[in-house]
Amino acid sequence: MVSIKDVAKHAGVAISTVSKVLNNYPNVSSDTRDKVNRAIEELGFVPNAVAAALSSKQAGRVAILIDLNTRTQAIDEISMQLISGAINQAVLMNLDIITVFFSMIRDKSVEELIRYFKSQNISGIIISGMNRESKQLLELIASKEFKIVVIDAPVYNESTSSVWIDNEKAQYDVAKKTTENIDCKKILYIAGRTDDYISGERRRGVERLAREFKLKLTVKQGEFNEKKAREITLQYGKYNDLIVCASDLMAIGAMKALIEMDIFRPICGFDGLALMGYVGKQMNTVKQDFYRISSEAVRELNYLMNGGCGRNIKLDYRLVRMKYEDIIC
Amino acid sequence: MVSIKDVAKHAGVAISTVSKVLNNYPNVSSDTRDKVNRAIEELGFVPNAVAAALSSKQAGRVAILIDLNTRTQAIDEISMQLISGAINQAVLMNLDIITVFFSMIRDKSVEELIRYFKSQNISGIIISGMNRESKQLLELIASKEFKIVVIDAPVYNESTSSVWIDNEKAQYDVAKKTTENIDCKKILYIAGRTDDYISGERRRGVERLAREFKLKLTVKQGEFNEKKAREITLQYGKYNDLIVCASDLMAIGAMKALIEMDIFRPICGFDGLALMGYVGKQMNTVKQDFYRISSEAVRELNYLMNGGCGRNIKLDYRLVRMKYEDIIC
DNA sequence: ATGATTTAGGAAAACGTTTTCTTAAATGAT
DNA sequence: ATCATTTAAGAAAACGTTTTCCTAAATCAT
């Protein structure tokens, strides 16, 4: 392996000079710079990022945590969007990013998590999908040992930021919009996982709607689970005028149930998955731009790691009607 | 940051002794071992993997290459399966794995690719989805600078292995099975991307079937693109008795076309995506176990990196009829 | 022309490990 | 009891960088 030492010798300069050229330091004459660059070229030298990371005490790496265990189509789509957004932004900002998958760290204690991050020189973390599995992550966030950006949960201290959309308002909006064209007295709400932060928010949104318009609201726990949503709909669907689901996946479950029972009820979902383009029915939903969300998260993490103070970044969403033609590319 | 030096001082031993304890070297008395372990405990010491990687000249890291640019549902699902399988296997084998996304390296020359891998201390690579974007990767494979496992393309030299399923036979099998219950004289085959290795294989499979059973075969290039498959089906679907597609996604496109034209033709797909459970129609397809494929790839890479010689690992597939109940979990 | 300031470039320490030698102590064989 | 062998543990070099400090030369102001 050809090292900086070889380059220095070949160019007839000191190691430190090569390093300065490599890192675009000012105090190098263009003569020397050329000489060094020529040597680099001739020797095919590639700087070793591992050594550089060890040597420089600078910030360290950024990690994005992705849940690998929840195996559903919907999660695949969201995860990949999050990953894409984060990586592209990181490349743009020249950050060393690493994708860490939950299965690698699941069931580990906070200490072990911290261990892992420390051992990997990770000092900035992006966390999405805070839920019951993430209790440890919450502890991690509280510890202030790292700079952290949380997606969709406005919990923060000075070393933590969050990137989120207003789930309460979004749920309200999409449900309201769907009621507008129909005669709606009774709403069935299929809620998300009880201990998910966003579940509470969304539920409050539909509750506010019911209150404001004096609608009868039935709330059932769907756990973000398609099958469960189907069962709930089979049981309660026909007694309601509208079925509001806290996720697209559950909306699909509800739709299947309606088809089975051969009745029609309007449904609305939440997330704006491309998957919705494949289910054959149109549906109102809240389209979240996960790609954008995680790009923003990376940008915010960079801000934190450069000494910025924690804050909440609110992003917008769009109400859309999903159908085949909207999605296919 | 507490380092091995602090541990040594605290335990009253030399640095090298701590290192020996850390790496379970034999020549350490249990007394010393205990002393060191106590110090590690008390100081909350976490070994720095970066430093260790720099110091030890050992094998280096494993990378799995995932394409991030082809933005479709199907790819999301396959990618996530590949990632899951690889990561879980790597954790099991205690390998340091890193997921590298194509967008980070796309449009870069082979030299730059090699640069990247070198700089990241990567010496083993898993490559999937060899196609026109991957020409550079082919060069990389030829270079023998790294140990490489290619998924679904049996190209190898002594430092390269491949993990694959018999695409020719699988395409033959699924198409044959679908013909069995119908009166089939004419087949429309919607092929994959011309320069994809697997496309050629699959095409040969259906050609063999046509030859053996004296069927009229019309082959059109679908490019693994749903929209294109839809268009092809709109144009040629009604003149054929069976539509065989080189991927599930194209099968979905074909299905949409049939629905639009309000005619029925049996269709078969390829891949066994969970997505197929959402499209509302049953379809025969070839189920590939991508999770298993990439676990095997990691195992094989480990074998190569330990001095093993390149070889082909053939995995099996299953013919399945995909429908809602099969998929939902 | 002189002294003060800037600048280019080098020497060497540091980052946190692993690994190779060495040495002193402990054990074994006679 | 002596010498040979094994064993535990430490010293120090190495890995490939970055960074700090220093020196000599060059530039500037007077």
The pLDDT tens digits of the residues spanning B284-296 come to 999 999 999 999 9
Please report how many Cα atoms fall inside a 13 Å half-sphere around the Cα of residue A240, on the Cβ side: 25
Alpha carbon of A83: minimum distance to chain B alpha carbons (Å): 9
Query: Best-predicted range by mean pLDDT among B27-36, B58-67, B275-284?
Result: B27-36
At residue A88, does pLDDT exceed 90?
no
Residue A328 confidence (pLDDT): 30
Least CB-CB distance to B87: which of A79, A101, A226?
A: A101
What are the Cα distances from residue B199, in Å, to B138, B196, B202, B301, B320? 17, 5, 5, 25, 20
CB–CB contact B68 A87 (8 Å): yes
Q: Is the CB of A73 under 7 A from strand D?
A: no
B169-191 pLDDT, tens digit each: 999 999 999 998 788 999 999 99
Residues B247 and B74 sit within 8 Å (Cβ to Cβ)? yes
B216-267 pLDDT, tens digit each: 999 999 998 999 999 999 999 999 999 999 999 999 999 889 989 999 999 9
Smallest CA-to-CA distance from B71 within A103, A101, A290 is with A290
Distance CA A166, CA A286 (A): 11
What are the Cα distances from residue B27, in Å, to B4, B8, B30, B34, B38? 18, 17, 9, 14, 18
- Mean pLDDT computed over every residue of chain A: 86
Least CB-CB distance to B101: which of A46, A76, A83?
A: A83
Task: Identify nearest nucleotide to residue B53 by CA to C1′ distance.
Answer: C17
Query: Which stretch of DSSP H or E encloses residue A216?
Result: strand A216-221
Residue B135 confidence (pLDDT): 67
What average pLDDT does this structure show over B93-118? 72
What average pLDDT does this structure show over B74-86? 84
Task: Identify nearest nucleotide to residue A17 by CA to C1′ distance.
Answer: C9
Alpha carbon of B213: minimum distance to chain A alpha carbons (Å): 34
Alpha carbon of A91: minimum distance to chain B alpha carbons (Å): 7
Residue A318 confidence (pLDDT): 92
More confidently predicted of A230 and A159: A230
At residue B141, does pLDDT exceed 50?
yes
Residue A278 confidence (pLDDT): 81
Range in A233-237, B41-45, B130-134 the model is least confident about: B130-134
Residue A59 confidence (pLDDT): 61
Residue A62 confidence (pLDDT): 87
Distance CA A264, CA A238 (A): 9
Range in B104-118, B274-288, B304-318 the model is least confident about: B104-118
pLDDT band, residue B97 (cuts 50/70/90): confident
Residue B59 confidence (pLDDT): 61
Could you identify the residue written with the tokens 């999937």?
B128
Alpha carbon of A117: minimum distance to chain B alpha carbons (Å): 10
Least CB-CB distance to A46: which of B79, B99, B119?
A: B119
Q: Determine what percent of chain A is predicted with pLDDT higher than 90.
A: 49
Least CB-CB distance to A50: which of B54, B84, B324?
A: B54
Name every chain B residue with its beta carbon within 8 A of the beta carbon of A94. none
Name every chain A residue with its beta carbon within 8 A of the beta carbon of B121. 48-50
The CB density around residue A209, as the number of other CB atoms within 10 Å, is 21
CB–CB contact B48 A121 (8 Å): yes
At residue B130, does pLDDT exceed 80?
no
Residue A57 confidence (pLDDT): 64
pLDDT band, residue A72 (cuts 50/70/90): low
Preferred mutation among B103, B105, B118, B323 to probe A, highest tally of A CBs within 10 A: B118
Round and report the angstrom distance from CA (B48) to C1' (C24).
Answer: 32
pLDDT band, residue A193 (cuts 50/70/90): confident
Residues B96 and B61 sit within 8 Å (Cβ to Cβ)? yes
More confidently predicted of B105 and A217: A217
Residues B204 and B229 sit within 8 Å (Cβ to Cβ)? no
Torsion, Cα of B279, A319, A72, A237 (10° steps): -70
Distance CA A131, CA A115 (A): 22
Residues B227 and B260 sit within 8 Å (Cβ to Cβ)? no
The protein residues having a beta carbon less than 7 Å from any atom of strand C are A 12-17, 26-29, 31-32, 51, 54-55, 57; B 1, 3-5, 15-16, 18-20, 22-23, 45-48, 51-52, 54-58
Residue B107 confidence (pLDDT): 57
pLDDT band, residue B325 (cuts 50/70/90): very low
| Chain C nucleotides near the protein (CB, 7 A) | 7-20
Phi, psi dihedrals of residue B60, rounded to the nearest 5°:
105, -175
What average pLDDT does this structure show over A238-254? 94
Smallest CA-to-CA distance from B123 within B101, B97, B105 is with B97
| Beta bridge partners of residue B322, listed in sequence order | B283
What average pLDDT does this structure show over A221-238? 95
pTM above 0.85, yes or no: no
Q: Is the CB of A24 under 7 A from strand D?
A: no
Task: Identify nearest nucleotide to residue B15 by CA to C1′ distance.
Answer: D10
Distance CA B184, CA A123 (A): 62
Query: Best-predicted range by mean pLDDT among A25-29, A49-53, B137-141, B219-223?
Result: B219-223
Task: Identify nearest nucleotide to residue A31 by CA to C1′ distance.
Answer: C8
CB–CB contact A77 B76 (8 Å): yes
At residue A45, does pLDDT exceed 50?
yes
At residue B11, does pLDDT exceed 60?
yes
Range in A30-44, A90-104, A170-184 the model is least confident about: A90-104
Residue A163 confidence (pLDDT): 95
Residues A290 and A64 sit within 8 Å (Cβ to Cβ)? no
At residue B60, does pLDDT exceed 80?
no
Residue A76 confidence (pLDDT): 79
The one-character DSSP state at B230 is H
Least CB-CB distance to B115: which of A46, A71, A115?
A: A46
Alpha carbon of A310: minimum distance to chain B alpha carbons (Å): 23
Round and report the angstrom distance from CA (A17) to C1' (C25).
Answer: 48
What average pLDDT does this structure show over A292-317? 92
SS3 category, A287: strand
Could you identify the residue written with the tokens 């269709």?
B267
At residue B326, does pLDDT exceed 60?
no
Preferred mutation among A22, A43, A46 to probe B, highest tally of B CBs within 10 A: A46
Name every chain A residue with its beta carbon within 8 A of the beta carbon of B115. 46
pLDDT band, residue A312 (cuts 50/70/90): very high
Round and report the angstrom distance from CA (A81) to C1' (C17).
Answer: 37
pLDDT band, residue B328 (cuts 50/70/90): very low
Residue B323 confidence (pLDDT): 58
At residue A18, does pLDDT exceed 90?
yes
Nearest residue to C19 (CA, C1')? B56
Smallest CA-to-CA distance from A116 within A107, A134, A104, A128 is with A104
- Mean pLDDT computed over every residue of chain B: 86
Least CB-CB distance to B101: which of A53, A87, A120?
A: A87
All domains of chain B, ordered by start, with CATH?
1-58 (1.10.260.40), 167-288+323-327 (3.40.50.2300)
Range in A164-178, B33-47, B140-154 the model is least confident about: B140-154
